Amino acid sequence: MNNKATISRARRLLLGGLMLCGFVVLAGRSAQLQLFDREFLQGQADARHLRVVQVPAHRGMITDRNGEPLAISTPVQSVWVNPKELVASRNELSRLARLLGLDGDYVRRLLGQRQGREFVYLRRHISPDRAQQVTDLEWPGVYLQREYRRYYPAGEVAGHLLGFTNIDDEGQEGVELAFDDWLSGEAGAKRVVKDGRRHIIENVENIRSARPGKILRLSIDRRIQYLAYRELKAAVRQHGARSGSIVIMDNQTGEVLAQVNQPSFNPNNRKHLKAERMRNRAVTDVFEPGSTMKPFVIAAALESGRYAVGTRIDTSPGLFQVGVHTIRDMHDYGTLDLTGVIRKSSNVAASKIALALKPEDFWKGLSAAGFGIATSSGFPGEADGYLADFHRWRDIERATMAYGYGLSVTSMQLAQAYSVFANDGYRVPVTLLQREQAAERQTVYSPRVARAVRKMMESVVKKDSTAPLAAVQGYRVAGKTGTVHKSVAGGYADDRYLSVFAGMAPASRPRLVAVVMIDEPNNGEHFGGKVAGPVFSKVMAGALRLLNVTPDDAPLLQTRLQSSEEPA
């Protein structure tokens, strides 16, 4: 009995000793970890959970001249996965795929191909509702990342001008591409602590602050841009035309206030977009300008000193032979002074004048006005147009160039060239950015000549001329029509035309210059005065009112005033 008691006591002492030793060991180990190995263990923990993450920077906003937003970047979420961490059944993957609008088999193939990676995008730029649904799943290996998406409030009204960015917010077309360096932001970096689900639970330090892109203020007036878009779209539809473009400039500063094309596209939705709809025709497409060239022939004639405003040209019988080629007018206009040449748009008279001028003098005037040279707008893909060297001109080329064949221009170039007449003979560089100070001007014609030609062009919108539909009530308008046979293989088509009107207002002291071009009207009318002229009239009338430009047509204003005073 005593032996049993002794053994039991020994066991209790042994067990107590072992427990005491265990406690001492645990206490010692705890002291070691807390006091001696603390920095090492903290470093190991940080190595597993301390991360450097990128801080996204948004792209700079694009605004019109009045500060109205044309392109902005909004924060969105993108879904990515770590295939090494993602443990999900086939049904769960299908559910995730459906949530993201993806095919389940595609998701499984993608993850199978990227098993060795730690970062794979599943869907970028999702809606906030979908992002919240992904968060609610709480699946290991599925994460959200904040990014920015470009949004264009004006939609297709300014699509060609602004262009667009890709999924990584990099400029791809238009202004977005031309000024990508200015608009692009610089991502920042910060050190954070993440938990086991890679959620940020603590911001440790800011390594580098994000630098947002800079704001870009364009010369465009959003109100005039919309007005031009609306009228051009209506005209292209009315005439069953293939395409069209409008450029409106403030000729005093060279600022482009509107630049519109049809057909257009919406940069917010490019899912089913065709490449041909993205082309900014106003600066990339060239065409022969037709009779819109005649004012430049008259200007060169006046500059030569061999012609005066009253000089008369015999156009009878409406035909003019140049070698084996015959140049024709629509009618026999008889004898015309220089104003009559522009008013009646005589090909015969313009050709005779061009052949009487020195080729070099004629070429210098055209080149100085900007023909054959891209404008200074900086728009990507802008065409130079074509103006052959005068040394290679044959007589027939000099003659046909006088009424706009044998050279090519863009709508933007033609607008810049017409601004020379609006600016009393000076050419101002074109810009798509709001201009803070006056730009250098280049002399093309003397002020006397430019004013004389501008006065002649006022006759074009009179009732007995080629473009009465281009008139603007209350304002004097100066301009010129162009009705151009389109070139085809082997010559020119008999039934395919370009309809053009180029002009300025108010003619007494021009503020705006506009060019309207309609490609292949196909609804019975094709003359520039009847197809492009009315578009010019509507857009110019609205733009002048929006800019509060004082009317200068006193007789029309007096008539309107008297009619408003009559009793109803």
Residue 336 corresponds to which tokens in the numbers above?
A: 């015309």
**Domain hosting residue 481, numbered range:** 223-563
Q: Which residues contact 220 (CB under 8 A, 6 or more apart)?
A: 64, 65, 70, 158, 161, 256, 257, 258, 259, 432
Q: Which of 38, 49, 139 is nearest to 95 (CA)?
A: 139
With 60 as the cut, is the pLDDT of residue 69 above it? yes
Output the pLDDT for position 555: 63
- Give 433-464 as a DSSP string: B--SSPPP-EE-S-HHHHHHHHHHHHGGGSTT
Output the pLDDT for position 564: 45
d(CA 269, CA 151): 10
Residue 462 corresponds to which tokens in the numbers above?
A: 């009179």
Please indicate, yes or no, whether residues 254 and 162 belong to a single structural domain of this protein.
Answer: no
| Bridge partner list, 479 | 503
- Look up residue 215 and give its DSSP letter: P
CATH of the domain at 508: 3.40.710.10
If one counts the domains in the chain, the total is: 2
Please indicate, yes or no, whether residues 261 and 178 belong to a single structural domain of this protein.
Answer: no
Out of 10-14, 73-77, 171-175, 550-554, least confident range: 10-14
Are 189 and 205 in contact by the 8 Å Cβ rule? The answer is no
With 80 as the cut, is the pLDDT of residue 34 above it? no
Q: What is the mean pLDDT of residues 410-433?
A: 96
Are 248 and 222 in contact by the 8 Å Cβ rule? The answer is no
- Give 98-155 as a DSSP string: HHTT--HHHHHHHHHHTTT-S-EEEEEEE-HHHHHHHHHH--TTEEEEEEEEEE-TTG
Are 484 and 287 in contact by the 8 Å Cβ rule? The answer is yes
CATH of the domain at 189: 3.90.1310.10
Q: Which of 372, 201, 158 is nearest to 286 (CA)?
A: 372
Please indicate, yes or no, whether residues 151 and 257 belong to a single structural domain of this protein.
Answer: no
Residue 19 lies in a domain: no
Residue 515 corresponds to which tokens in the numbers above?
A: 């060019």
Output the pLDDT for position 198: 56
d(CA 239, CA 531): 8
Could you report the per-residue pLDDT of 100-109, keeping only the tens digit for each? 888 878 877 7
- Preceding peptide of 263 cis, ω within 30°: yes
Output the pLDDT for position 464: 86
Residue 24 lies in a domain: no
Could you report the per-residue pLDDT of 339-359, keeping only the tens digit for each? 999 999 999 999 999 999 999
Could you report the per-residue pLDDT of 188-230, keeping only the tens digit for each? 676 656 555 555 555 566 677 778 889 999 999 999 999 999 9
Give the 3-state DSSP-derived string for 182-212, with helices as H, strands as E and coil as C: HHCCECEEEEEEECCCCCEEEEEEEEECCEC
Could you report the per-residue pLDDT of 86-104, keeping only the tens digit for each? 766 666 778 888 888 888 7
Are 73 and 58 in contact by the 8 Å Cβ rule? The answer is yes
Q: What is the mean pLDDT of residues 363-377?
A: 93
Please indicate, yes or no, whether residues 347 and 482 belong to a single structural domain of this protein.
Answer: yes
Could you report the per-residue pLDDT of 488-537, keeping only the tens digit for each? 888 899 899 999 999 999 999 999 999 999 999 998 899 999 999 999 99
Residue 535 lies in a domain: yes
The last residue of a domain, from among 217, 235, 264: 217
Residue with tokens 């430019």: 450
What SS3 state is found at 244?
strand
Phi, then psi, of 542 in degrees rounded to 5: -65, -40
Phi, then psi, of 557 in degrees rounded to 5: -65, -40
Residue 137 lies in a domain: no
- 470 to each of 69, 103, 475, 484, 536, how far by Cα in Å? 32, 56, 11, 18, 6
Residue 532 corresponds to which tokens in the numbers above?
A: 């492009």
d(CA 349, CA 112): 76
- Look up residue 166 and give its DSSP letter: -
Please indicate, yes or no, whether residues 165 and 273 belong to a single structural domain of this protein.
Answer: no
Please indicate, yes or no, whether residues 393 and 423 belong to a single structural domain of this protein.
Answer: yes
Q: Which of 514, 508, 561 is nearest to 537 (CA)?
A: 514
d(CA 32, CA 34): 6
The last residue of a domain, from among 168, 192, 217: 217
Residue 39 lies in a domain: no
Output the pLDDT for position 253: 93
- 524 to each of 241, 274, 529, 531, how far by Cα in Å? 11, 29, 14, 10
Could you report the per-residue pLDDT of 258-291, keeping only the tens digit for each? 999 999 999 998 777 788 888 999 999 999 999 9
Please indicate, yes or no, whether residues 243 and 275 belong to a single structural domain of this protein.
Answer: yes
Please indicate, yes or no, whether residues 169 and 244 belong to a single structural domain of this protein.
Answer: no
| Bridge partner list, 75 | 148
Residue 149 lies in a domain: yes
d(CA 518, CA 232): 9
Residue 29 lies in a domain: no
Q: Which of 73, 78, 184, 291 is catalytic?
A: 291
What SS3 state is found at 540?
helix
Please indicate, yes or no, whether residues 384 and 403 belong to a single structural domain of this protein.
Answer: yes
Please indicate, yes or no, whether residues 183 and 231 belong to a single structural domain of this protein.
Answer: no
d(CA 67, CA 280): 23
d(CA 251, CA 272): 38
- Give 309-349 as a DSSP string: TT-EEE-TTSEEEETTEEEE-SS---EEEHHHHHHHT-HHH
94: annotated active-site residue: no
The last residue of a domain, from among 217, 242, 269: 217
Please indicate, yes or no, whether residues 347 and 232 belong to a single structural domain of this protein.
Answer: yes
Phi, then psi, of 438 in degrees rounded to 5: -65, 140
Instruction: Determine what percent of the chain is predicted with pLDDT higher than 70.
Output: 87
Output the pLDDT for position 322: 93
Residue 11 lies in a domain: no
Q: What is the mean pLDDT of residues 226-236?
A: 97
Which has more pLDDT, 48 or 426?
A: 426
Could you report the per-residue pLDDT of 120-162, keeping only the tens digit for each? 888 888 888 888 888 887 777 788 888 888 999 999 999 999 9
Q: Is the pTM of this model over 0.95?
A: no
Please indicate, yes or no, whether residues 322 and 202 belong to a single structural domain of this protein.
Answer: no
Other Cβ atoms less than 10 A from the Cβ of 61: the count is 18
Confidence tier at 436 by pLDDT (50, 70, 90)? confident
d(CA 175, CA 218): 9
